Amino acid sequence: MYPFHWVPAGGARHASLDSRPDGAFAYPSGTGVRTLCGYRLAADNSELAWLWETCAECGAVAKRLAAASR
């Protein structure tokens, strides 16, 4: 398992190291989340939001973290 979680927020799919609520698969909509690209955004856990483009900066950091966790 990777140390980050994906979260749709601010019009893109971001990644975050923030912990999710116990047992939750995703951050509930409206939850403030610090992203790997350095923003604090409100999660949008709607079906459509999961189809947004991935934030390029979060994607790059997530790839580095994933490689380091292997």
CA distance 66 to 70: 7
pLDDT score, position 25: 92
Count of Cβ atoms closer than 10 Å to residue 23 Cβ: 5
- Are the CB atoms for 34 and 40 separated by under 8 Å? yes
pLDDT score, position 1: 83
Residue 4 pLDDT > 90, yes or no? yes
* Alpha-helical runs (H) found in 1-70: 56-68
Q: Per-residue pLDDT tens for 18-64?
A: 999 888 899 999 999 999 999 999 999 999 999 999 999 999 999 99
- Are the CB atoms for 10 and 2 separated by under 8 Å? no
